[in-house]
Amino acid sequence: MISLTHVTKLYGSVIGVNDVTVELGAGAYGLLGPNGAGKTTFLGLVTGQLRPSIGRVRVFGERPFFNARVLRRIGYCPASDLTERSATPREWVRYLVQLSGFTPAASLKRADSTLEQVGLGEAARRPLSTLSKGMRQRAKLAGAIAHDPDLLVLDEPFDGLDPVARHELVSLVRTWARSRSLLVASHLLHEVEALQAGLAVILGGRLVASGTVHEIRDLIDTLPSEVRVVSSAPRRLAELACGCPEAEAVRFVGNDTFIVDTRAPRLLAERIGEAAISEGILVRELVPGDRSLEGIFGRLVQLHRGVTP
Amino acid sequence: MTGQRLSPDRAPGESPPLPALAAIVAVARFQIDRLLTPPRLALAAIGVIFPTAVLLAAAKARDASLERDLGAILLYALVPEAVCMLGLLVTISPAVADELERGTWVHVAVRPGGRRALLLGTWLAAVLWTGAVALSGLLLALLTGVISNGWSLLGPFAILVCLSCIGRAALFALPAVIVPKRSLVASVGVALVVEYLAGLIPAVVNQLTVSLRLHTLLVRFMDWRRTLAPELQLLIDDRPPSAQVAAVLLLAVVYLAIAVAILEWRQFPPSEES
């Protein structure tokens, strides 16, 4: 469905995305990365707003830029807030559907049914400027799906929403994605997790990982992690830790604290705990490296930025 | 992963016979709705009243109604030139910049043919809006009877207003797509350099201006050709009025085609879309 081959996008001397190669089949995907990582540029390339400086972009097997056939099959909901003041959601969505090549009557019908679908039926005739951020997000989403695209692309769709609005919008998008393809860019991992989507992690314009959540976990397992230990007898406990096959290196960062480098932090933490109990050593703190998805993401960001543990 | 539909559902009758034209009309309608705000309506009212106010002041200064020729010169300077120019500057010049500022550009740019529809629809809205203001101003000026035998000017001046709006809106579409962030300043520059400077140079370059066609039509409509000073005759074209009208329409098509081509090819980095 989406294919990028050695794609680089330059804005003058600034790199938007850097030598990205990725194949995404039909389905739901989360594009994950911190602010400024190149997510919006990636989406711009996929949705035909931008041309690659180097490389090849294909969506549904065709170049998306200046290609009406591809654009007709894409729905895009950008990150920027809708600042259209006087228009109502009904007028706005009808306008966008008309631009997608529908008659005025069909556009109005689709606008009404889609606004109903996203829960904006009652607010459909109120000016957008009087709606809450969550309602405007729904109006944007309605504009993106009302022409019935095959691929829905959402850029930070849950940004600035309260938890209730976020939960409702996640449910909406998840329901929609059951029958179509979805690409969601976000800097918050739990949002992507909530959508039960595959992952592509982008950092500094580079795609650093892609696959299912499990595949990315497996990938991360090959990366070094650490266990931090604060104890009353750090030297003795460090000796014991060195005896564990999972330990790769030990260093002291204070009088009572040491850190063990490992690729299996949880297992090593268990072993150190058991050793401390058997030796009667007081352990004040025993923290394995975070292997939650948030932790993985944070770790990838740290590695990318060259931050040593 | 989830399943996927292979093509958008589109029931019979949902697609218009000319989708590109329908999209242009949709944009024009949306842009006109945007113009129906109190500040814009107040500006339009000023545009309608302004020519009459100036003509009345001129008549008062002379203590008599204006002769037809003098009235025509003033009316030409006020309506097809001043009102049309100013109206078009504020409607077509920000065609792209306004969308970028409102955050609506990206919504339109990802639609099939959205960029083209945006430009041509905004052009159409600018022509209709400015044309309506200028024609209302013209009617009001003639209704006051401040110009002797003024009603004979209605037809010719209505043509001049329409051509001024069509041609110059297309001309101002170029700076709107080339330098969207400074389009207003650039359009003023284009108006001064292209329309008022190049238009007065008796050379090939003035053939590319709307001014030359409007001056020529004014002279023809008013039958001033024989009484025109020889040096001023250099500033008008010898071809018949129909050729002048065709030239303005052709210029408009060429300018718009260039503007559409530029806009279709333009890319706005995400940082500019806010």
- pLDDT, tens digit, 9 for 90 and up, residues A9-32: 998 888 888 888 888 888 888 888
Handedness of CA A234, A235, A239, A245 (dihedral sign): positive
Residue of B nearest to A86 (CA): B34
Residue A252 is inside which H or E element, if any? strand A247-252
What confidence score (pLDDT) does residue B13 get?
67
- Locate A135 and state its tokens: 């309602």
Nearest-CB residue to B112 (from A41, A101, A179): A101
Identify from B110, B260, B271, B273 which residue to disrupt to test chain A contact, counting A C-beta atoms within 10 A and taking the largest count: B110
Closest CA to A134 of A174, A162, A93: A162
Three-state secondary structure call for residue A77: strand
Round to whole Å and give the CA distance between A126 and A136. Answer: 11
Residue of A nearest to B267 (CA): A50
Which 3-state string (H, E, C) describes A155-175?
A: ECCCCCCCHHHHHHHHHHHHH
- Locate B108 and state its tokens: 């339109």
Residue B41 lies in a domain: yes
What confidence score (pLDDT) does residue B79 get?
96
Residue B213 lies in a domain: yes
Residue B191 is classified by DSSP as I
Tally of domains in chain B: 1
Round to whole Å and give the CA distance between B193 and A228. Answer: 72
- Would you place residue A221 in the very low, low, confident or very high pLDDT band (cuts 50, 70, 90)? low
Across the interface, whether the CB atoms of A143 and B9 are under 8 A apart is answered: no
Question: Which chain B residues contact residue A51 at CB under 8 A?
Answer: 267
Across the interface, whether the CB atoms of A49 and B10 are under 8 A apart is answered: no
Round to whole Å and give the CA distance between A84 and A63. Answer: 30
**CB–CB of A115/A125 below 8 Å?**
no
Chain A nearest C-alpha distance from B109 (Å)? 7
What confidence score (pLDDT) does residue B5 get?
45
For residues A173-208, b (16+ Cβ closer than 10 Å) or e, as one string?
A: bbebbeebbbbbbbbbbebbbbbebbbbbbbbbbbb
Across the interface, whether the CB atoms of B3 and A179 are under 8 A apart is answered: yes
Q: Give B244's Cβ-side CA count (13 Å radius).
A: 24
Question: Which chain B residues contact residue A68 at CB under 8 A?
Answer: 112-113
Chain B nearest C-alpha distance from A4 (Å)? 19
Round to whole Å and give the CA distance between A156 and A186. Answer: 5
Residue B76 lies in a domain: yes
> Is CATH 3.40.50.300 what the domain over A2-73+150-211 is classified as, yes or no?
yes
- Helices (runs of H) and strands (runs of E) counted in chain B: 12, 0
Across the interface, whether the CB atoms of A101 and B23 are under 8 A apart is answered: yes
Decide if pLDDT at A219 tops 80: no
What confidence score (pLDDT) does residue A306 get?
61
- Would you place residue A8 in the very low, low, confident or very high pLDDT band (cuts 50, 70, 90)? very high
Residue B206 lies in a domain: yes
Round to whole Å and give the CA distance between A139 and A41. Answer: 23
Nearest-CB residue to A95 (from B1, B30, B109): B30
Locate all alpha helices (DSSP H) within A124-243, ordered by sequence: 133-145, 163-176, 189-194, 213-221, 234-242
Residue B10 lies in a domain: no
Q: What is the mean pLDDT of chain A?
A: 86
Domain boundaries, chain A: 2-73+150-211, 222-305
Residue B3 lies in a domain: no
* pLDDT, averaged in runs of 10, over chain B (274 residues): 43 73 94 92 96 94 87 95 95 90 89 94 97 97 90 95 96 94 92 86 83 93 86 84 96 96 90 55
Residue B9 lies in a domain: no
Q: Residue B268, Cβ neighbours under 10 Å: how many?
A: 17
The reply to whether ipTM tops 0.90 is no
**CATH of span A222-305:** 3.30.70.920
Decide if pLDDT at A160 tops 80: no
Decide if pLDDT at A218 tops 50: yes
**CB–CB of A186/A32 below 8 Å?**
yes
What confidence score (pLDDT) does residue B3 get?
37
Share of chain A above pLDDT 70, in %: 91
Nearest-CB residue to A86 (from B3, B26, B37): B37
Interval A286-304 mean pLDDT: 67
Q: A28-32 and A14-24 as β-strands: parallel, antiparallel, unpaired?
A: unpaired
Nearest-CB residue to B1 (from A11, A28, A143): A28
- Locate A148 and state its tokens: 């019935």
Question: Which chain A residues contact residue B105 at CB under 8 A?
Answer: none
- Write out the residue range of the structural domain in which residue B236 sits: 19-272
Interval A277-288 mean pLDDT: 89
Q: How many CB pairs under 8 A join A and B?
A: 140
What confidence score (pLDDT) does residue B128 get?
97
